[in-house]
Amino acid sequence: MSAQRRIVLLVGVAAAAAVAVAAAAVLSSEGGSATTVAGEAEPRPGRPPLSLALGFRDDPEARDLARGAAFYRKGELHGATAFFAKHDSLDAKVGQAFATWPEGTLDRVEQLAKLYPESAVVHFHLGLARLWARSGDPESAWRATIEAEPDTPYAVLAGNLLHPRLPRGLPAFIPSFAAPAEVVELAPARQVAALRARAARGGTGELLLYGVGLQRVGRPVSAAEAFRRAAQGAPANPEALVAAAVGQFDKDAPERAFGQLGPLTRRFPNDPTVRFHLGVLLLWTGRVDAAARQFRVAMRTRSGSPLAREAARYLGTIRQARAKSG
């Protein structure tokens, strides 16, 4: 692994953690490419991972699915099957199919994909089953995941697998202001609903915080729409315009986001949010040196501001990654 590649991966993981920490304060497989493989190859060892995006659900079915997934991770497949078999949802059907691995798993999930072509959970796990079985094209299943339900955590995870050399997840918008205490103090499951209610009756800041909340729960399309509405309502607000640009980021077509964000460096030369988020987008496309330059500009633009401090944190992460890479 090259030094530059290691830096991208290490920074990506740490930067994602930094984004999560920053967002929390606001609301306080393998590295190679998965390519088409022939059908007669030996399956990969072990079982494919099972990833059910249950979010904040706490209903009886969600609890059973979580228990079944826990049994699956431990290799206790009979226990997993018992919990999955209690329900008829697609999550449960996928869980049951995986719990029989490798006996009939791929055929069953292929069948589910034909029966439910609009289901992200099915297509995502079909890609994993194909990858582990070394049969068929996993990438086409992950692209179908994004096409079927782009506003889901499964679409974000599929993007990770389609672009294994880029940082995981999507770049997050980080506002320069905190959420109100009455939202921060709520249980996580209630925070997005509270942010939605505030956005419905509030202004630009409320829409931006709602978008941040949506990003955190794996709903990038809805987050982008919230950011777009904020920019539409405040066309002279740099944070709203930057958020709208960040919300457009797509690993398959990053030029859309850069096309919106780049011109803002001239329009708002003294606002750190532009340079900081330009650095974030550059980081998410693997351009570490260019990202570091933008973070340094963000630090100088308004020294001591929240985003200047965040830029310094990212620079520290880059330095640590470079030190580890030798």
Written as tens digits, the pLDDT of the chain (326 aa) is: 443 333 333 333 333 333 332 223 224 333 333 433 334 467 889 999 999 999 999 999 999 999 999 999 999 999 999 999 999 999 999 999 999 999 999 999 999 999 999 999 999 999 999 999 999 999 999 999 999 999 999 999 999 999 999 999 999 999 999 999 999 999 988 999 999 999 999 899 999 999 999 999 999 999 999 999 999 999 999 999 999 999 999 999 999 999 999 999 999 999 999 999 999 999 999 999 999 999 999 999 998 899 999 999 999 999 998 888 76
Same domain, 197 and 309: yes
Residue type, 152: T
pTM comes to 0.86
Final residue belonging to a domain, choices 147, 162, 177: 162
Question: What's CA 289's distance to the chain center, in Å?
Answer: 23
In the DSSP assignment, the letter for residue 179 is P
Same domain, 154 and 180: no
Q: C-alpha distances in angstroms, 251 versus 14, 118, 201, 215, 257?
A: 19, 22, 33, 15, 10
Same domain, 191 and 207: yes
230 inside domain = yes
Same domain, 234 and 209: yes
53 inside domain = no
Determine the Cα–Cα distance for residues 113 and 97; give it in Å rounded to an integer. Answer: 12
Q: C-alpha distances in angstroms, 150 versus 31, 107, 116, 208, 223?
A: 23, 25, 16, 20, 12
Same domain, 152 and 203: no
Question: In CATH, what number is assigned to the domain containing residue 144?
Answer: 1.25.40.10
ω into 180 cis (within 30 of 0): no
Final residue belonging to a domain, choices 111, 129, 162: 162
**Closest C-alpha among 262, 222, 291, 257 to residue 15:** 291
Same domain, 112 and 174: no
In the DSSP assignment, the letter for residue 151 is T
Measured over the CA atoms of residue 285, residue 278, residue 252 and residue 21, the dihedral's sign is positive
35 inside domain = no
253 inside domain = yes
Q: Into how many domains does the chain fold?
A: 2
Final residue belonging to a domain, choices 142, 162, 182: 162
Same domain, 319 and 181: yes
116 inside domain = yes
Domain that holds residue 17: 3-27+169-325
The pLDDT of residue 28: 34
Do the Cβ atoms of 129 and 109 come closer than 8 Å?
yes
41 inside domain = no
